[in-house]
Amino acid sequence: MVAASPRTAAAPAARVIFLGPPGAGKGTQAAKLAAHLGVPRISTGDMLREAIARGTELGRKAAPIMEQGLLVPDDLLIALVRERIAQPDCRRGFVLDGFPRTLRQAQGLAMMGSEGPELVVFEVAVPKDELLRRLSGRRWCPTCQATYHVTNDPPGRPGVCDREGTALVQREDDREAVVSHRLRQYEEQMAPLIAHYRERARLHHVEGHRPVEAVFEDLRCLLEARE
Ligand code: AP5
Protein backbone atom coordinates (compact mmCIF):
# COMPACT_ATOMS: atom_id res chain seq x y z
CA MET A 1 0.00 0.00 0.00
CA VAL A 2 1.31 3.47 -0.87
CA ALA A 3 1.56 5.76 2.17
CA ALA A 4 -0.39 9.04 2.08
CA SER A 5 1.96 11.98 1.66
CA PRO A 6 1.40 15.69 2.33
CA ARG A 7 0.25 17.75 -0.68
CA THR A 8 2.66 19.83 -2.70
CA ALA A 9 2.14 23.59 -2.97
CA ALA A 10 0.68 23.14 -6.49
CA ALA A 11 -1.97 20.57 -5.51
CA PRO A 12 -5.58 21.74 -5.14
CA ALA A 13 -6.50 22.25 -1.50
CA ALA A 14 -9.81 22.83 0.22
CA ARG A 15 -11.65 25.08 2.58
CA VAL A 16 -12.64 22.73 5.38
CA ILE A 17 -14.93 23.31 8.36
CA PHE A 18 -15.09 20.97 11.36
CA LEU A 19 -18.35 20.82 13.30
CA GLY A 20 -18.78 18.64 16.36
CA PRO A 21 -19.26 18.75 20.13
CA PRO A 22 -16.47 19.58 22.59
CA GLY A 23 -14.09 16.62 22.67
CA ALA A 24 -15.17 15.17 19.31
CA GLY A 25 -11.57 15.38 18.09
CA LYS A 26 -11.98 18.43 15.84
CA GLY A 27 -8.66 19.94 16.90
CA THR A 28 -6.83 16.61 16.61
CA GLN A 29 -8.14 15.92 13.12
CA ALA A 30 -7.94 19.54 11.94
CA ALA A 31 -4.21 19.63 12.76
CA LYS A 32 -3.56 16.40 10.85
CA LEU A 33 -5.65 17.44 7.86
CA ALA A 34 -4.11 20.91 7.65
CA ALA A 35 -0.62 19.37 7.65
CA HIS A 36 -1.68 16.88 4.99
CA LEU A 37 -3.17 19.58 2.75
CA GLY A 38 -0.39 22.08 3.44
CA VAL A 39 -2.84 24.80 4.53
CA PRO A 40 -3.22 26.59 7.88
CA ARG A 41 -5.39 25.25 10.68
CA ILE A 42 -7.40 28.08 12.17
CA SER A 43 -8.63 27.27 15.66
CA THR A 44 -10.75 30.04 17.15
CA GLY A 45 -10.44 28.40 20.59
CA ASP A 46 -6.63 28.55 20.38
CA MET A 47 -6.73 32.14 19.08
CA LEU A 48 -8.93 33.17 22.00
CA ARG A 49 -6.77 31.34 24.57
CA GLU A 50 -3.70 33.05 23.10
CA ALA A 51 -5.44 36.45 23.34
CA ILE A 52 -6.24 35.71 26.99
CA ALA A 53 -2.63 34.70 27.70
CA ARG A 54 -1.36 37.91 26.06
CA GLY A 55 -3.92 40.04 27.92
CA THR A 56 -5.25 41.74 24.78
CA GLU A 57 -8.60 43.54 24.70
CA LEU A 58 -10.16 40.52 22.96
CA GLY A 59 -8.70 38.25 25.62
CA ARG A 60 -10.11 40.38 28.44
CA LYS A 61 -13.58 40.24 26.87
CA ALA A 62 -13.41 36.49 26.10
CA ALA A 63 -11.97 35.18 29.38
CA PRO A 64 -15.04 35.44 31.65
CA ILE A 65 -17.28 34.08 28.88
CA MET A 66 -15.08 31.08 28.13
CA GLU A 67 -14.70 30.28 31.83
CA GLN A 68 -18.45 29.69 31.94
CA GLY A 69 -18.51 27.59 28.78
CA LEU A 70 -20.54 30.19 26.87
CA LEU A 71 -20.00 31.49 23.36
CA VAL A 72 -17.99 34.64 22.73
CA PRO A 73 -20.10 37.23 20.77
CA ASP A 74 -20.44 36.57 17.04
CA ASP A 75 -19.13 40.00 15.98
CA LEU A 76 -15.80 39.44 17.73
CA LEU A 77 -15.37 35.99 16.19
CA ILE A 78 -16.36 37.08 12.69
CA ALA A 79 -13.85 39.95 12.81
CA LEU A 80 -11.13 37.61 14.13
CA VAL A 81 -11.65 35.02 11.37
CA ARG A 82 -12.09 37.61 8.62
CA GLU A 83 -8.69 39.08 9.45
CA ARG A 84 -7.04 35.65 9.64
CA ILE A 85 -8.33 34.22 6.37
CA ALA A 86 -7.37 37.39 4.51
CA GLN A 87 -3.71 36.44 5.09
CA PRO A 88 -1.81 35.17 2.03
CA ASP A 89 -1.22 31.70 3.55
CA CYS A 90 -4.98 31.04 3.31
CA ARG A 91 -5.19 31.51 -0.47
CA ARG A 92 -5.04 27.76 -1.20
CA GLY A 93 -7.48 27.05 1.57
CA PHE A 94 -7.67 26.51 5.30
CA VAL A 95 -9.04 24.17 7.93
CA LEU A 96 -11.42 25.89 10.35
CA ASP A 97 -11.66 24.33 13.81
CA GLY A 98 -14.34 25.81 16.10
CA PHE A 99 -15.81 28.30 13.60
CA PRO A 100 -18.55 28.82 12.59
CA ARG A 101 -20.54 27.86 15.67
CA THR A 102 -23.71 29.81 15.03
CA LEU A 103 -25.83 30.53 11.97
CA ARG A 104 -24.75 34.15 12.18
CA GLN A 105 -21.09 33.14 12.08
CA ALA A 106 -21.79 30.91 9.06
CA GLN A 107 -23.45 33.85 7.32
CA GLY A 108 -20.46 36.01 8.28
CA LEU A 109 -18.09 33.45 6.76
CA ALA A 110 -20.09 33.38 3.52
CA MET A 111 -19.70 37.17 3.29
CA MET A 112 -15.92 36.85 3.53
CA GLY A 113 -15.76 35.84 -0.15
CA SER A 114 -16.86 32.87 -2.19
CA GLU A 115 -13.63 32.55 -4.16
CA GLY A 116 -11.21 29.75 -3.46
CA PRO A 117 -11.47 26.00 -3.26
CA GLU A 118 -14.75 24.23 -2.58
CA LEU A 119 -16.14 24.30 0.96
CA VAL A 120 -16.18 20.89 2.65
CA VAL A 121 -17.83 20.44 6.06
CA PHE A 122 -17.14 17.50 8.37
CA GLU A 123 -19.60 16.90 11.18
CA VAL A 124 -17.82 14.65 13.69
CA ALA A 125 -20.12 12.64 16.00
CA VAL A 126 -19.05 10.95 19.27
CA PRO A 127 -21.29 9.57 22.08
CA LYS A 128 -21.58 11.74 25.19
CA ASP A 129 -19.91 9.33 27.64
CA GLU A 130 -16.85 9.18 25.40
CA LEU A 131 -16.80 13.01 25.09
CA LEU A 132 -16.75 13.29 28.89
CA ARG A 133 -13.94 10.74 29.13
CA ARG A 134 -11.87 12.60 26.53
CA LEU A 135 -12.39 16.05 28.05
CA SER A 136 -11.62 14.98 31.61
CA GLY A 137 -8.35 13.35 30.44
CA ARG A 138 -7.25 16.08 28.05
CA ARG A 139 -4.05 17.96 28.85
CA TRP A 140 -2.81 20.99 26.96
CA CYS A 141 0.52 22.75 26.41
CA PRO A 142 0.14 26.48 27.12
CA THR A 143 3.27 27.22 25.05
CA CYS A 144 2.60 25.42 21.72
CA GLN A 145 -1.07 24.51 22.29
CA ALA A 146 -0.47 20.81 21.55
CA THR A 147 -3.17 18.53 22.93
CA TYR A 148 -2.59 15.22 24.75
CA HIS A 149 -4.74 12.74 26.61
CA VAL A 150 -3.60 11.07 29.82
CA THR A 151 -4.39 7.58 28.50
CA ASN A 152 -5.23 7.81 24.75
CA ASP A 153 -2.36 10.04 23.73
CA PRO A 154 0.05 10.56 26.64
CA PRO A 155 3.28 12.58 26.33
CA GLY A 156 6.63 10.75 26.59
CA ARG A 157 7.18 12.11 30.13
CA PRO A 158 3.98 12.31 32.22
CA GLY A 159 2.71 15.89 32.48
CA VAL A 160 5.36 17.43 30.18
CA CYS A 161 4.99 18.60 26.53
CA ASP A 162 7.13 16.51 24.15
CA ARG A 163 7.93 19.55 21.99
CA GLU A 164 8.38 22.38 24.49
CA GLY A 165 9.20 20.69 27.79
CA THR A 166 6.46 22.86 29.33
CA ALA A 167 4.26 21.54 32.15
CA LEU A 168 0.92 20.43 30.70
CA VAL A 169 -2.28 21.87 32.17
CA GLN A 170 -5.97 21.06 32.18
CA ARG A 171 -8.05 23.61 30.29
CA GLU A 172 -10.20 25.75 32.63
CA ASP A 173 -13.26 24.91 30.53
CA ASP A 174 -12.67 21.16 30.81
CA ARG A 175 -13.94 21.22 34.40
CA GLU A 176 -17.08 19.11 34.75
CA ALA A 177 -19.52 21.96 35.47
CA VAL A 178 -18.31 23.97 32.47
CA VAL A 179 -18.33 20.98 30.12
CA SER A 180 -22.07 20.51 30.61
CA HIS A 181 -22.68 24.15 29.49
CA ARG A 182 -20.49 23.63 26.45
CA LEU A 183 -22.32 20.46 25.43
CA ARG A 184 -25.69 22.20 25.82
CA GLN A 185 -24.51 25.15 23.70
CA TYR A 186 -23.46 22.75 20.99
CA GLU A 187 -26.81 20.95 20.98
CA GLU A 188 -28.67 24.28 20.73
CA GLN A 189 -26.57 25.76 17.92
CA MET A 190 -25.76 22.84 15.69
CA ALA A 191 -29.08 21.81 14.09
CA PRO A 192 -29.54 25.10 12.19
CA LEU A 193 -25.87 25.16 11.27
CA ILE A 194 -25.98 21.65 9.82
CA ALA A 195 -29.18 22.47 7.92
CA HIS A 196 -27.44 25.57 6.54
CA TYR A 197 -24.44 23.62 5.23
CA ARG A 198 -26.51 20.72 3.93
CA GLU A 199 -27.79 23.14 1.28
CA ARG A 200 -24.63 25.11 0.63
CA ALA A 201 -21.59 22.84 0.90
CA ARG A 202 -20.41 19.27 0.72
CA LEU A 203 -21.39 18.06 4.21
CA HIS A 204 -20.11 14.71 5.52
CA HIS A 205 -21.13 13.01 8.74
CA VAL A 206 -18.10 11.27 10.24
CA GLU A 207 -18.15 8.68 13.03
CA GLY A 208 -15.54 10.01 15.47
CA HIS A 209 -15.61 7.24 18.10
CA ARG A 210 -12.77 5.32 16.49
CA PRO A 211 -8.97 5.51 16.61
CA VAL A 212 -7.50 8.83 15.46
CA GLU A 213 -5.86 7.28 12.36
CA ALA A 214 -9.09 5.54 11.26
CA VAL A 215 -11.02 8.82 11.46
CA PHE A 216 -8.28 10.64 9.59
CA GLU A 217 -8.24 8.03 6.83
CA ASP A 218 -11.97 8.60 6.26
CA LEU A 219 -11.48 12.37 6.06
CA ARG A 220 -8.63 11.99 3.60
CA CYS A 221 -10.62 9.61 1.38
CA LEU A 222 -13.69 11.84 1.44
CA LEU A 223 -11.61 14.83 0.38
CA GLU A 224 -9.85 12.89 -2.37
CA ALA A 225 -13.08 11.40 -3.68
CA ARG A 226 -14.30 14.88 -4.64
CA GLU A 227 -11.32 15.54 -6.97
P1 AP5 B 1 -12.70 25.32 21.45
O2 AP5 B 1 -11.30 25.41 21.85
O3 AP5 B 1 -13.05 25.41 19.98
O4 AP5 B 1 -13.31 24.02 22.11
P5 AP5 B 1 -14.46 22.98 21.65
O6 AP5 B 1 -15.15 23.23 20.35
O7 AP5 B 1 -15.34 22.90 22.82
O8 AP5 B 1 -13.69 21.73 21.27
P9 AP5 B 1 -12.55 21.07 22.10
O10 AP5 B 1 -11.26 21.79 21.84
O11 AP5 B 1 -12.98 20.90 23.52
O12 AP5 B 1 -12.57 19.61 21.49
P13 AP5 B 1 -12.08 19.05 20.09
O14 AP5 B 1 -13.28 18.56 19.33
O15 AP5 B 1 -11.17 19.98 19.38
O16 AP5 B 1 -11.31 17.76 20.60
P17 AP5 B 1 -9.72 17.47 20.73
O18 AP5 B 1 -9.17 17.19 19.36
O19 AP5 B 1 -9.05 18.51 21.55
O20 AP5 B 1 -13.57 26.47 22.16
C21 AP5 B 1 -13.42 26.76 23.52
C22 AP5 B 1 -14.28 27.97 23.90
O23 AP5 B 1 -13.84 29.12 23.11
C24 AP5 B 1 -15.77 27.85 23.60
O25 AP5 B 1 -16.46 27.20 24.63
C26 AP5 B 1 -16.17 29.32 23.44
O27 AP5 B 1 -16.30 29.94 24.70
C28 AP5 B 1 -14.96 29.93 22.75
N29 AP5 B 1 -15.09 29.88 21.28
C30 AP5 B 1 -14.26 29.23 20.40
N31 AP5 B 1 -14.68 29.40 19.14
C32 AP5 B 1 -15.81 30.15 19.22
C33 AP5 B 1 -16.74 30.62 18.24
N34 AP5 B 1 -16.60 30.35 16.93
N35 AP5 B 1 -17.78 31.37 18.66
C36 AP5 B 1 -17.95 31.68 19.97
N37 AP5 B 1 -17.12 31.25 20.96
C38 AP5 B 1 -16.06 30.49 20.58
O39 AP5 B 1 -9.78 16.08 21.52
C40 AP5 B 1 -10.23 16.03 22.87
C41 AP5 B 1 -9.42 14.95 23.64
O42 AP5 B 1 -9.71 13.67 23.09
C43 AP5 B 1 -7.91 15.14 23.52
O44 AP5 B 1 -7.31 14.80 24.74
C45 AP5 B 1 -7.48 14.15 22.41
O46 AP5 B 1 -6.18 13.65 22.61
C47 AP5 B 1 -8.54 13.05 22.55
N48 AP5 B 1 -8.92 12.46 21.27
C49 AP5 B 1 -9.10 13.09 20.09
N50 AP5 B 1 -9.48 12.22 19.13
C51 AP5 B 1 -9.57 11.00 19.74
C52 AP5 B 1 -9.93 9.69 19.26
N53 AP5 B 1 -10.28 9.44 17.99
N54 AP5 B 1 -9.93 8.68 20.15
C55 AP5 B 1 -9.59 8.89 21.44
N56 AP5 B 1 -9.22 10.10 21.96
C57 AP5 B 1 -9.21 11.15 21.10
The secondary structure of 130-143 as a DSSP string is HHHHHHHHEEE-TT
Residue 156 within any structural domain of the chain: yes
Residue 185 within any structural domain of the chain: yes
Chain mean position to CA 214: 18
Residue 10 within any structural domain of the chain: no
Contacts 24+ apart (CB under 8 A), 153-156: 153/212
Residue of minimum CA distance from atom 49 in ligand 1:
25
Residue 4 within any structural domain of the chain: no
pLDDT digit string (tens) for 151-193?
989 999 999 999 999 999 999 899 988 998 899 999 999 999 9
Residue of minimum CA distance from atom 50 in ligand 1:
25
Percentage of the chain with pLDDT > 90? 82
Q: How far is the CA of 2 from the centre of ligand 1 (A)?
A: 31
Q: Is the pLDDT of residue 33 over 70?
A: yes
Query: How many domains, in total, are found in the chain?
Result: 1
75, 82 contact by CB (below 8 A): no
Which domain CATH number covers 203? Answer: 3.40.50.300
Q: How far is the CA of 24 from the centre of ligand 1 (A)?
A: 7
CA 47 to CA 51: how far, in whole Å? 6
Nearest atom in ligand 1 to 101's CA: 34
Output phi, psi for 138, to 5 deg: -70, 140
Q: How far is the CA of 85 from the centre of ligand 1 (A)?
A: 20
Residue 39 within any structural domain of the chain: yes
Looking at residue 12, its pLDDT comes to: 60
Residue 5 within any structural domain of the chain: no
Cβ within 8 Å of residue 57, ≥6 positions away: none
Q: Which domain, by its residues, includes 84? A: 15-225
Residue 42 within any structural domain of the chain: yes
pLDDT digit string (tens) for 88-141?
999 889 999 999 999 999 999 999 876 677 899 999 999 999 999 999 999 999
Nearest atom in ligand 1 to 66's CA: 27
The residue to mutate among 18, 44, 76, 216, having the most atoms of ligand 1 within 8 angstroms of its beta carbon, is 44
Residue 9 within any structural domain of the chain: no
